[in-house]
Amino acid sequence: MAAGRGAELLRPPVSSGRATFLELFFDLAFVVALTRVSQRFAGLGDDTGWALVTGFGRTLLLFLALWLIWSHTAWITSRYEPEQPIIQAVVVGTMFASLIMAVTLPRAMEERALPFAVAYLMVMVVRPLVVAVALRGHPRRLVPFRLVVWALASAPLWLAGALGPDHLRLPLWVVALAVDYLAWTLGWPLPWLGVAKVGRWRIAGTHLADRYQQMFLIALGESILVIGVVFSGADYSAERAAAFAVAFATSALLWRIYFYRAGLLLTEAFDRAGMPGRLGAVSERTHLLIVLSVLVTAVGYELVIDHPFGQARPGWLLFLVGGPMLFLVARVRLQYEIFGRVSHSHLIGLVALLLCTPALAQRAPMVGLSVVAAVLALVALVDALRRWGQPTEISASPIGGETSDVGDSEA
């Protein structure tokens, strides 16, 4: 790694892989943000048809914007030393902007669009500028410079969407967010400078794995919060108590399935990877799906606890069954990333939920949640029986196993 001015900001090889207290403090803003995302999703419970699709798409866009902020921050603290004052200032500033996005999120597609967009752009534009200045003459300063250029390219779309007519906001923001994600995927290419794909970055892989696990737990914590708040605010009855218990069991099963083997060995897989950035780039997409699936499933909890044996509403299946199905899809991806194979039990669970969906459209919400819990319990049981009495597995990730051959100190 190149030495020189600004080199003190880089993570040393002996740096701890554990998240700092500042990063855990930063995550508190996303506790608020994820709660607001769930509330927006829950507000779609009575919608059907096109209204449900567009409402879900609007909330998904806001979630993806928040995820990009959190993910970039996780990579920054895995790449630079979080104990450095300038990096700490960057994290605290990002936390404040994220909190603004969180509190404006319930009406971010309506009258609070401008503060949401401005807070987002402050992170995407100002943060890499601060890092680039702090790096001074170090070759890595060109990476945050790339981020600034691409963020400025999408900024007019964000601002036009916030200030323009309401009916143009969604399409403009979809294009803007697509530009930001495309830049992240391609490595922010610029003429004469080439690309800086994150898969080739020098990062503390174990730290990044730790952050992904923590975000999953934050999402699970949000689901537990939903269960407790909804049940405590409703009239007590045996039906609601049963829904409360099944919802909690479902969250516990999501935790079990994630951490059983693959999720537990995520840190080890990053530690063994010759190019942890490549594994991190793939795992980032997987954990995006996992966190989203938990949030969507939590909305199903709220709907069931409020109306456990109410009228069947097919739109609710998007949350009751769609969330767990998305979780199993993402968990299959995670299994491959850690062990290089696909879990048959998860595929069986996915097919079972898919086959049950038409019948559940005609059943009470409580029946749907109970079937989901039973399928997840079966997946967890098969996983446990398959490994019963066998030696503990080690990670064998097919991703990022190569030794980095990057010679450019910018990486």
Distance between CA atoms of residues 248 and 214, nearest Å: 19
- ∠ CA 54-56-188, nearest 5°, is 95
DSSP 236: P
Q: Residue 227 is inside which H or E element, if any?
A: helix 205-233
- ∠ CA 392-398-403, nearest 5°, is 110
Phi then psi for residue 134, to 5 deg, are -65, -30
Given a contact cutoff of 8 angstroms between Cβ atoms, the answer to whether 42 and 303 are in contact is yes
Which residue type is seen at 87?
A: I
Q: Rg of the chain's alpha carbons, rounded to an integer?
A: 22
- Mutual angle of helices 21-42 and 276-306, in 10-degree steps: 40
The per-residue DSSP string of 19-64 comes to PPHHHHHHHHHHHHHHHHHHHHHHTTTT--HHHHHHHHHHHHHHHH
Phi then psi for residue 190, to 5 deg, are -135, 150
Q: Which domains does the chain have, with CATH numbers?
A: 9-200 (no CATH), 205-386 (1.20.1410)
Q: Residue 367 is inside which H or E element, if any?
A: helix 365-386
Distance between CA atoms of residues 364 and 109, nearest Å: 32
A 10 A CB-CB count for 177 gives 21
Given a contact cutoff of 8 angstroms between Cβ atoms, the answer to whether 180 and 150 are in contact is yes
Cα distance from N-terminal residue to C-terminal residue, the chain: 9
Given a contact cutoff of 8 angstroms between Cβ atoms, the answer to whether 52 and 318 are in contact is yes
Given a contact cutoff of 8 angstroms between Cβ atoms, the answer to whether 319 and 368 are in contact is no
Q: What is the pLDDT along the chain (411 residues), one digit of tens a residue?
A: 344 556 788 887 767 677 889 999 999 999 999 999 999 998 887 777 888 889 999 999 999 999 999 999 999 999 998 889 999 999 999 999 999 999 999 999 999 999 999 999 999 999 999 999 998 878 888 899 999 999 999 999 999 999 999 999 999 999 999 999 999 999 999 998 889 888 888 888 889 999 999 999 999 999 999 999 999 986 888 999 999 999 999 999 999 999 998 888 999 999 888 889 999 999 999 999 999 999 999 999 999 999 899 887 888 899 999 999 999 999 999 999 999 999 899 999 999 999 999 999 889 999 999 999 999 999 999 998 887 767 777 888 888 765 543 433 456
Which residue type is seen at 53?
A: V
Burial string for 302-316 (b: 16+ CB within 10 Å, else e) reads bbbbbbbbeeebebb
Given a contact cutoff of 8 angstroms between Cβ atoms, the answer to whether 55 and 245 are in contact is no
Q: What is the reported pTM?
A: 0.94
